[in-house]
Structure 1
């Protein structure tokens, strides 16, 4: 059994056709069929049901092909590890981001990273903090963008930037004509926030204690964009990070009103496993973050 034969059976399973699989593997169909036949004899098991119109996997064949795919992926990692040992900016980086950061920071960050590390493609996961944490600890992610403080055993975190919040109201709301608003005034308003589990919800409640005392369930949304649309419809008002209020997200039926000091804000940082072997990748992310032209973000210099 060789990696080459494993590639053959994966190709047949995906193509459902020996001829197409042979073309994909740059081999003649008789040679491919013979190799798979020898593997079936070696395993004493039939992997495929051969029909005139198509090829289908046997139940056992399906399990073996799934394992073959995992073996091929792990073998690919060996090549990747060797390449990264020579240049840490070569090879895929698995980056996670909380959902109130990803849509607003990643478009500019990915572009900036590609300029600095063109051979480091990003596999991106956008999720809740709890899910990102599990994926980071299990090795499914390399680094995550999360809100601080973030304390987890075996994980290192570092602040990247501070970001103030703004009040977002419909143009028909009385606050739409104000130059600023006091966070303590939110307790008497219908404030739309993300569902529990979104760290941004807790950040707003922590920054606006009067709102926290009056907030039970309230009106909730799955994302900031869903909430934005509900505010446009006139259902209530909301609080958003300034990265979600740049020119591309402006709407003629909404007004963003600054808070008076002390302005509610959040701190965003990077987190990675202790012993992560690609510190150069972390450094290039830091540099790329400092180049972003997003108004109101205050970069934090690493010590």
Structure 2
């Protein structure tokens, strides 16, 4: 595809491929690496970018800096090039949607605290029902997901919402309650249900920074100050580690409801549900507002809703924001 840019007395011709080369260098800040990602030789990529610069009579990249940097005008060109390339990619999507075809490549991001429990529940059924869809799935944190959605590197994602981002559309899939994991030596172990007032942020074992579930817990306990005189502070990247630490008497932890379904019977005796309204997280399909692969998004939503509806029966919930409050 060729892009025509008209000025008062001349016309500039450039291809979508050339713009993709520009975007690759802007992303990787290295001509050699950008060429590898575009599956061309470095001289070919450099020549095509130089051709654009000569036609425009400007420098898109400052090659004297390491790593390579965009010039001021180069940044504006890259912003526009993203729009052009994204819109060109959507021409094919429009045709497929018109034909009712559900297939092709679809890049999906999923946050780490959702992926291990949700993915096995729907993936097998989805690929059997939609064999022409090639799902490319990445496990990413929320910030990485938002960045990749906006840069066109993901078509959609499954994340905790609301995210309060005007460029991102959210379709709620389900509400997943928080569940406390309380060791036998803890004062709340004898309770049938607990409330937020039973939580002590100073003894709750948390996931590492960057996990939205951690931010949800901090928001849940926002009125309870942390004690800076604690003898230790433990943060982990997995719920399994937090459960083992709690069993050692080092504190309590909170888990997403779906994660509790796979616990052994002994550990399930240590689970304590919250009184209604139960604090919960809102899990949604999110995608750019200009996304056109809605037919695949709808197929994903229907597949996920079908399996989750039978697993989560809680209705009276209070949604806890994933956005960390200052």
Which of the five TM-score ranges fits, normalised by the shorter chain? 0.5 to 0.7
> Unaligned 5+ residue runs, structure 2?
1-30, 45-84, 316-326
**TM-score of the superposition, structure 1-length normalised?**
0.67
TM-aligned CA deviation for residue 210 of structure 1: 4.2
1:291 to 292, 295, 306: 306
The 2-side partners of 1:170 and 1:178 are apart by 12
CA distance in structure 2 between the aligned counterparts of 1:148 and 1:294, rounded to whole angstroms: 20
Unaligned runs of 5+ in 1: 1-59, 299-303
1:209–1:233 distance in 2 versus 1, CA, 3 Å: same
Q: Distance in 1 between matches of 2:141 and 2:227?
A: 21
Report the structure, 1 or 2, having the larger helix content. 1
RMSD: 3.4
How many equivalent residue pairs?
235
Return the offset for 1:225: 2.9
TM-score normalised to the size of structure 2? Answer: 0.62
Q: Could you list the per-position Cα deviations for residues 185-226 of structure 1 after superposition, in whole angstroms to 9, with x for gaps in the alignment?
A: 212761101122211111122223344x23669421112233
- Pairing partner for 2:264 from 239, 247, 250: 250
Partners in 2 of 1:120 and 1:206 — Cα distance? Answer: 38
Task: Please show how residues 1-303 of structure 1 align to structure 2 within 5 Å.
Answer: 67-68=38-39, 84=96, 86-187=99-200, 190-211=203-224, 213-214=225-226, 218-246=233-261, 248-250=262-264, 252-253=266-267, 255-292=270-307, 293-296=310-313
Does the aligned pair in 1 maintain the 2:110–2:138 contact within 8 Å?
A: yes
**What SS class does the counterpart of residue 107 from structure 2 fall into?**
strand
Does structure 1 retain, via aligned residues, the 8 Å contact 2:94–2:292?
Answer: no
- Residues 287 and 215 of structure 1, relative CA distance in 2, 3 Å threshold: farther
Offset at residue 69 of structure 1 (A): 6.1
Secondary structure, aligned partner of 1:121: strand
SS in 1 for 2:164: coil
**Structure 1 Cα separation of the partners of residues 34 and 194 of structure 2:** 60
CA contact (8 A) 1:224 1:240 kept: yes
What's the CA shift for 1:137?
1.0
Cα distance between partner residues in 2 of 1:94 and 1:188 = 37
C-alpha separation between the residues in 1 aligned to 2:34 and 2:297? 38
